[in-house]
Amino acid sequence: MTPKYDEGTIRTLDWQEHIRKRPGMYIGKLGDGASRDDGIYVLLKEVMDNSVDEFMMGFGKKIEVSIDQHIVKVRDYGRGIPLGKLVDAVSKMNTGAKYDSKVFKKSVGLNGVGIKAVNALASDFKIMAVREGVGKEVAFSGGIIKNERDLKGLEEENGTIVTFQPDESIFKKFHYIDDYVINMMKNYTFLNSGLTIEFNGEKYYSRNGLLDLLEENLDQEPIYPIIHLKGEDIEIAITHGNQYGEDYYSFVNGQFTSQGGTHLQAFREVLVKTIRDFYKKDFDPSDIRASIVAALSIKVEEPVFESQTKTKLGSKDIGPDGPSVRQHVGNFLQKELNNFLHKNYEIAENMLRRIVESERERKAISGIKKLAKQRAKKASLHNRKLRDCRIHYDGKDDRKEESSIFITEGDSASGSITKSRDVNTQAVFSLKGKPLNTYGLSKKIVYENEEFNLLQAALNIEESIEDLRYNKVIIATDADVDGMHIRLLLITFFLQFFPELIKKGHVFILQTPLFRVRDKRKTMYCYSEIEKERAIKRLKGKPEITRFKGLGEISPDEFKHFIGANIRLDPVQMKKHESVIQMLEFYMGKNTPNRQEFIIDNLYVEKDEVA
């Protein structure tokens, strides 16, 4: 029967109802906090952007941020939102001061939407503005105003205080990961020299901008000292390391554009031309950019981003009367980098040496790469090793952020996941036994080893991580010693040859239950001994207890519970102070006695804290 279509089917949603019904339009994916671009971090970013914009306009040199459990508080010392418009600013769509380019000339938030999305998607939202001893405080829940009060005779400094708690009915079982928040706060300070951000009592400050950012993110000594170039509304920092791949940090008006955009594309292209012209050699672009670590920041009037989450710049021009983004970046980079290299002969020689080394290595493995591609083709990759999905990260589908690939061990585990997965967004790659320990090996091994050759082909990362086919690369191995070993070997492979996958938050560990506890009425899945004991107490009696020894023992019907909406993923993260080289040497090198001592010292027994 065809659904009825008449006047009664047409609805007009209130602003908060629309945001809550379609949150993805405003904050991208929801997530549980395991990924650095999950919605709870976007909510924090939207509030921070307003405070940072105040600093950029010259008001307030400090921002205080705290997260206690699920409650987030951001306090700036700017001008404070005009009191008469406070309610409108946080609850009326397309309302804000940023339409006036004289007040906020080059800000991040332009559409008057961000703070409203935070309000609508928070179970509790409170905002207080203070201006010259007079203030106003308004409280909301789910975007619905609960109360407001005028405040007089305040001794508080001017500014705005926002406190909110993401709605747990929308953000299921979420948690904030401090490392992700700290990284966000540091990026704000790198892009705004002179701004102090205090997060949970720790202060972050940058004096040298992008130079500090690169030094913070380098895990080894660079080939040559960082080249730091600053101009009007543009800043660039460049160096080369010994790692594989390209590593970029790009920003627009202080916003981290994790997916790049027109400014980063221009930088990568013009860098090649500038280097070729300076050395008067027609180097291959991949040799120039191999092992590069660079940061780029530009200011744009009324920037156009490809989504509300502002992760990719779409603007072609710097402003209504300005040059194109490509001209702005290109003209500055060509002139300043060329001048710098002419003045710094030793750095220029070291850069040349690194490019020539990359060229030599590329040519040495070019023949092997051709053979490897032929082998991958003959192996019928998509039938033998990979059960692909329909939606990919490098495509244009609205659900591309959901695309993921499970790397499994053995046919039984891959079979269970394959039968229970979402064929639209979840692919499965099956390993054959334990992969090779690649620590200390050259990239030549990636093409010579069939498993790794087929894996990199499946991920589509041979030429660039920008072509990655899946947003989440999920290691799904058994929760035993062998499974842990395979995890280590895969992480070693990624760190050794494709570190950007981990640095940019694409690699995860799938958590699956260790126990099933059930009686005639209820089944509970437990991920630890503690959870098992709690389940036994809750069910009472003598429930049936099953210990899953491997993923292959979990039926496809059960697996649906663990890779669907309630999937538990642990992100593979690196602390900022950790060096890839030192980490791999310790965990995967030949220092067996030291490693053995470390393992013994860090063994622990899970304590039963069942209430």
pLDDT above 90: percentage of residues in the chain? 35
Q: Give which of 238, 234, 229 is closest to 253, Cα–Cα.
A: 234
> What is the dihedral angle through the alpha carbons of 489, 491, 496, 500, rounded to the nearest 10 degrees?
160
- Give just the sign of the alpha carbon dihedral 454, 457, 459, 465: positive
Query: Residue 251 to residues 38, 234, 260, 274: CA-CA distances in angstroms?
Result: 19, 10, 8, 22
Residue 118's H or E segment, with its range, is: helix 114-120
Please check whether residue 471 lies inside any domain of the structure.
yes
DSSP assignment of 222-273: -SSPPEEEEETTEEEEEEE-SSSS-EEEEEETTEE-TT-BHHHHHHHHHHHH
Q: Give which of 170, 337, 327 is closest to 263, Cα–Cα.
A: 327
Q: What is the pLDDT of residue 9?
A: 65
- Sequence-ordered list of residues with C-beta below 8 angstroms from that of 569, at least 6 positions apart, any chain: 32, 34, 472, 474, 508, 509, 510, 511
Q: Are 294 and 236 in contact (CB under 8 A)?
A: yes
* β-pair type (507-511, 523-526): unpaired
Residue 252 CA to residue 232 CA, distance in Å, equals 13
Residue 161's H or E segment, with its range, is: strand 159-166
Does 503 lie in the same domain as 481?
A: yes
Q: What is the pLDDT of residue 8?
A: 66
Please check whether residue 200 lies inside any domain of the structure.
yes
Tokens of 411: 């046919």
Q: Are 263 and 329 in contact (CB under 8 A)?
A: yes
Strand runs (DSSP E) across 410-556, as ranges? 426-431, 472-476, 507-511, 515-518, 523-526, 544-547
Q: Write the single-letter amino acid at 269.
A: E
Query: Could you say which DSSP state residue 396 is in?
Result: -
Q: Are 407 and 455 in contact (CB under 8 A)?
A: yes
Does 543 lie in the same domain as 452?
A: no
Tokens of 111: 């559409």
Q: Are 501 and 492 in contact (CB under 8 A)?
A: no
pLDDT tens-place string over residues 109-129? 544 578 899 999 999 999 999
Task: Tell me which residue has tokens 């082998």.
Answer: 375
Domain containing residue 533: 515-547
Does 35 lie in the same domain as 163?
A: yes
Residue 201 CA to residue 570 CA, distance in Å, equals 26
Cβ neighbours, 10 Å, residue 153:
7
Please check whether residue 308 lies inside any domain of the structure.
yes
> Considering 204, 231, 248, which residue would you say is the last residue of a domain?
204
Task: Tell me which residue has tokens 């010579």.
Answer: 448
- Give just the sign of the alpha carbon dihedral 442, 447, 452, 457: positive
Burial-class residue 250 by CB neighbours within 10 Å (0-12, 13-18, 19+).
buried
Tokens of 529: 């001994």
Q: What is the pLDDT of residue 137?
A: 94
Query: Could you say which DSSP state residue 392 is in?
Result: -
Cα-trace Rg, the chain: 26
- Sequence-ordered list of residues with C-beta below 8 angstroms from that of 72, at least 6 positions apart, any chain: 43, 44, 47, 65, 66, 163, 164, 165, 166, 176
Does 470 lie in the same domain as 448?
A: yes
Q: What is the pLDDT of residue 591?
A: 65
Residue 53 CA to residue 61 CA, distance in Å, equals 11
Residue 416 CA to residue 413 CA, distance in Å, equals 5
Tokens of 296: 């780029």
- For 256-267, what is the HEC assignment? ECCCCEHHHHHH
Does 343 lie in the same domain as 411?
A: no
> Considering 204, 233, 249, which residue would you say is the last residue of a domain?
204
Does 113 lie in the same domain as 47?
A: yes
Q: Are 222 and 285 in contact (CB under 8 A)?
A: no
Q: Give which of 553, 529, 371, 577 is closest to 478, Cα–Cα.
A: 553
- Sequence-ordered list of residues with C-beta below 8 angstroms from that of 484, at least 6 positions apart, any chain: 477
- Sequence-ordered list of residues with C-beta below 8 angstroms from that of 556, at least 6 positions apart, any chain: 415, 416, 419, 420
CATH number at residue 140: 3.30.565.10
Q: Which residues pair with 523 in a beta bridge?
A: 518
Please check whether residue 607 lies inside any domain of the structure.
no
Q: Give which of 352, 417, 348 is closest to 387, Cα–Cα.
A: 417
Please check whether residue 481 lies inside any domain of the structure.
yes
Q: How many domains does the chain have?
A: 4
Cβ neighbours, 10 Å, residue 277:
11
- Give just the sign of the alpha carbon dihedral 315, 319, 324, 328: negative
Does 182 lie in the same domain as 42?
A: yes
Does 175 lie in the same domain as 40?
A: yes
Residue 122 CA to residue 166 CA, distance in Å, equals 4
Q: Write the single-letter amino acid at 521.
A: R
Please check whether residue 296 lies inside any domain of the structure.
yes
Residue 11 CA to residue 81 CA, distance in Å, equals 33
Tokens of 205: 């400050």
Please check whether residue 11 lies inside any domain of the structure.
no
Number of Cα atoms under 13 Å in the Cβ half of residue 167? 20
> Considering 328, 362, 396, which residue would you say is the last residue of a domain?
362
| Residues of the chain falling short of pLDDT 70 | 1-3, 5-12, 94-112, 305, 307-310, 315, 318-320, 373-384, 575-583, 585-587, 589-592, 594-595, 598-599, 602-611
Query: Residue 387 to residues 155, 236, 396: CA-CA distances in angstroms?
Result: 64, 42, 21
Does 429 lie in the same domain as 350?
A: no
Does 589 lie in the same domain as 474?
A: yes
CATH number at residue 347: 3.30.230.10
Please check whether residue 383 lies inside any domain of the structure.
yes
Does 323 lie in the same domain as 258?
A: yes
Number of Cα atoms under 13 Å in the Cβ half of residue 294? 23
Does 347 lie in the same domain as 313?
A: yes
